[in-house]
Amino acid sequence: MSVPTVRGAYDAIERMLAPRLEALVRTKQYAKVTAALADARSSAGAQAGSVAACLLHAYNLPAGTDISRLGRQLGELDREVRELRLELAAYAEDRGEELADADA
**Which of 72, 71, 74, 53 shows the shortest CA–CA distance to 62?**
53
Distance CA(93)–CA(87), nearest Å, equals 10
Q: Return the HEC string of the chain.
A: CCHHHHHHHHHHHHHHHHHHHHHHHCCHHHHHHHHHHHHHHHHHHHHHHHHHHHHHHHCCCCCHHHHHHHHHHHHHHHHHHHHHHHHHHHHHHHHHHHHHHHHC
Convert the pLDDT of each residue in 4-22 to its tens digit: 788 989 999 999 999 999 9
What integer pLDDT is reported at residue 5 of this predicted model?
A: 85
User: What pLDDT is stored for residue 39 in this prediction?
Assistant: 96
Q: pLDDT digit string (tens) for 48-103?
A: 999 999 999 999 999 999 999 999 999 999 999 999 999 999 998 888 765 445 44
pTM of the model: 0.50
- Quickly state the pLDDT bin for 104 (edges 50, 70, 90): very low
Domain boundaries defined on the chain: 1-61, 62-104
Average pLDDT over residues 33-38: 96
The pLDDT value given to residue 97: 62
